[in-house]
Structure 1
């Protein structure tokens, strides 16, 4: 391969990299659309949507029989709170869908946590952590 062709290829790659902005929040990739074709844009949008779907599943609540009710420091419900907080932290942070994420979390809590007091505690914990 001639040297001039190699230099031209390297210069083209460098200039394309200047126009491409890479962001890596929570293990997924978004590229600025300054140099992307419509197919590439669609693929990046798919990746973003798939990441939201790929987020960890909402943790399953422990059975009522697993708690002795004596207020143990390692209560299964406290462990469950930690698991729910980990789930919330695993969701991708995107300002455009933040309200949708909050609604999704509330729906999951309604569906998975029967005890209203525990559900309220989880909601307060999530909000106090700024999630």
Structure 2
């Protein structure tokens, strides 16, 4: 069975928030709070290398912003950015914020995801939406 991965950015959705994020990444990238965004997106769009990587994964993918995580799954207080696995309406923390924030390049992030997929490991103590 294909895994269902939910990537959650440490940013809110909406046009105003997107414009604010772009400005923040341009003028003060060292204090930008979403390393998942910083690694996978340029100033205006998804990086081609990241898009190709995602298309190569044998997994179902969902992408949410912080506010959408709460409205879609009722999850609040999770440290973000993060990647969850989803089974039904239950999210299981799969890659922690500290692990994503520890990546300084897209290659490191891709390796983290591929290694985790290969091992099939998850963190069952971190279930949300039960």
If the length of structure 1 is used for normalisation, what is the TM-score? 0.22
- Higher share of residues assigned strand: 2
Per chain length, whose mean CA-contact separation is higher, i.e. which structure has more relative contact order (CA < 8 Å, sep 6+)?
Answer: 2
If the length of structure 2 is used for normalisation, what is the TM-score? 0.22
Larger Rg: 1
- Higher share of residues assigned helix: 1
